[in-house]
């Protein structure tokens, strides 16, 4: 009896059309991580403050120093997402033992660690004032989405594991801002950050067994955050920086589609508010100019949480609703090495 009920529940999960036809909002929702902020470092003159790694080349234009740079590193990410379904209904009203209840689905990404790279430009207006900008991204590879949904059917309880293969990742970050400091090594950082993440999921499995081959998920998330930060630097030796934003604004959507046994489309929006913070440390090897070598470390936390609009369409069935407390969290650690030349 338990085996029959288990496969009944697995079939329901794999067919959103059947569930939402009974006013149930569900579906797998792949989360996306937020890349760490690009590093913030010393200026190429060695007597001021600016954002970015030590320059590969410094180009003097009058009294202004234009300072392009590059960066390479590796980032570890821990990402999870909570989708509050929390729905109860009776698919068979005449059978009390068939009362079905679903809880909050927990989703995580596995093997979501990447090589990262960045390019940027620092315009040093004076020893205490620098304008900066940069772009960074991940080197993509395949990964896995894993989710568990607590389900009870009468007195029986289950938590089937549903997994997808993640492909076509595109994840990059752009930022710009200004650094204003003093001769004592302290500086104030003000800027803005824009991030873009998209990916697709396919090859559905339930408890490691292949299921609906037509099930597919598309994920898109855009984030914007004005931020403030502080930095302390001992010129030529080390630096430490902290960046924070309580005004992270997100936009995007998660779309889940199947074509068999019925054509269905289920979508959630990702328009929740949030926050982010990042810390960076860097150590400079004591080499004579013009060569520069440094090792850097960075860690970050980002989170969005709030209500989400849900839309479902399958044939003649159309449902719209709102779910509360959808959340997406990422914890990241990264590090790398910088080689440069200063002229």
Q: Cα torsion for 299, 252, 24, 29, to the nearest 10°?
A: -40
- Give CA–CA dist 179/156, Å, rounded: 60
Query: b/e for 251-271, b at 16 or more Cβ within 10 A?
Result: ebbbbbbbeeeeebebbbbbb
Length of the chain: 343
- Give CA–CA dist 309/307, Å, rounded: 7
The Cβ-side half-sphere exposure at 270, using a 13 Å CA radius, reads 28
| pLDDT at site 13 | 37
| pLDDT at site 182 | 76
| pLDDT at site 7 | 32
DSSP bridge pairs for 104: 84
Give domain limits for the chain.
2-156+166-341
What fold, for 2-156+166-341? Lipocalin (2.40.128)
| pLDDT at site 284 | 85
Q: Is the peptide bond before 261 cis (omega within 30 degrees of 0)?
A: yes
| pLDDT at site 60 | 54
Q: Could you tell me the pTM of the whole model?
A: 0.77
- Give CA–CA dist 124/50, Å, rounded: 8
Residue written as token pair 């004579």: 288
The Cβ-side half-sphere exposure at 297, using a 13 Å CA radius, reads 5
| pLDDT at site 341 | 56
Per-residue pLDDT of the chain (343 residues; tens, 9 = 90+): 333 333 333 333 333 333 333 222 222 222 223 333 333 333 333 333 333 333 334 455 557 777 777 889 999 988 888 776 666 767 677 777 777 777 777 888 888 899 998 888 878 888 788 898 888 988 888 888 888 877 777 777 777 788 888 889 999 899 999 989 877 888 999 999 999 999 998 887 877 777 778 888 899 999 999 999 998 888 778 889 999 999 999 999 888 888 877 788 878 888 899 999 999 998 988 877 666 778 889 999 999 998 888 887 877 777 787 877 788 898 999 999 877 655 4
3-state secondary structure of 177: strand
| pLDDT at site 290 | 64
Burial of 289 (0-12, 13-18, 19+ CB in 10 A): exposed
DSSP string, 224-289: EEEEEEEEEEETTTEEEEEEEEEEEEEEEEEEEEE-SSS-EEEEEE---EEEEEEEEEEEE----T
As given in the structure block, the two tokens for residue 17 are 């059309």
| pLDDT at site 52 | 37
Contact 248, 329 (CB under 8 A): no
| DSSP single-letter state for residue 117 | E
- Give CA–CA dist 173/224, Å, rounded: 10
| pLDDT at site 193 | 92
Radius of gyration from C-alpha coordinates of the chain: 24
- Give CA–CA dist 151/135, Å, rounded: 43
Contact 152, 160 (CB under 8 A): no
């Amino acid at each position: 009896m338990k085996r029959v009920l288990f496969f009944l529940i697995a079939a329901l999960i794999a067919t959103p059309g059947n569930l939402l036809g009974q006013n149930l909002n569900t579906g797998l929702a792949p989360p996306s991580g937020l890349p760490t902020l690009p590093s913030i470092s010393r200026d190429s003159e060695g007597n001021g403050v600016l954002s970015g790694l030590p320059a590969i080349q410094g180009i003097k234009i009058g009294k202004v120093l234009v300072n392009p740079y590059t960066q390479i590193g590796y980032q570890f990410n821990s990402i999870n997402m909570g989708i509050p379904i929390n729905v109860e209904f009776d698919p068979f009203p005449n059978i009390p033992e068939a009362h079905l209840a679903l809880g909050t689905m927990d989703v995580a990404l596995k093997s979501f660690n990447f090589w990262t790279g960045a390019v940027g430009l620092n315009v040093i207006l004076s020893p205490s004032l620098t304008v900066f900008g940069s772009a960074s991204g991940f080197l993509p590879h395949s990964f896995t989405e894993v989710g568990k949904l607590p389900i009870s059917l009468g007195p029986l309880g289950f938590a089937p594991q549903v997994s997808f293969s993640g492909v076509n990742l595109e994840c990059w970050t752009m930022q710009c801002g200004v650094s204003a400091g003093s001769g004592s090594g302290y500086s104030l950082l003000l800027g803005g950050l824009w991030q873009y993440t998209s990916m697709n999921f396919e090859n559905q499995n339930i408890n490691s067994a292949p299921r609906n081959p037509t099930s597919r998920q598309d994920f898109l998330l855009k984030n914007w955050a004005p931020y403030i930060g502080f930095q302390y630097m001992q010129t030529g030796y080390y630096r430490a920086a902290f960046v924070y934003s309580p005004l992270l604004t997100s936009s995007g959507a998660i779309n889940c589609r199947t074509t068999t046994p019925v054509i269905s489309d289920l979508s959630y929006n990702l328009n929740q508010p949030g926050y982010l913070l990042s810390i960076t440390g860097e150590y400079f090897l004591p080499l004579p100019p013009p060569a520069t070598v440094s090792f850097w470390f960075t860690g970050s936390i980002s989170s969005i949480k709030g209500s989400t609009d849900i839309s479902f369409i399958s044939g003649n069935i159309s449902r719209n609703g709102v779910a509360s407390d959808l959340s997406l969290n990422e914890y990241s650690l990264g590090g790398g090495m910088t080689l440069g030349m200063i002229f």
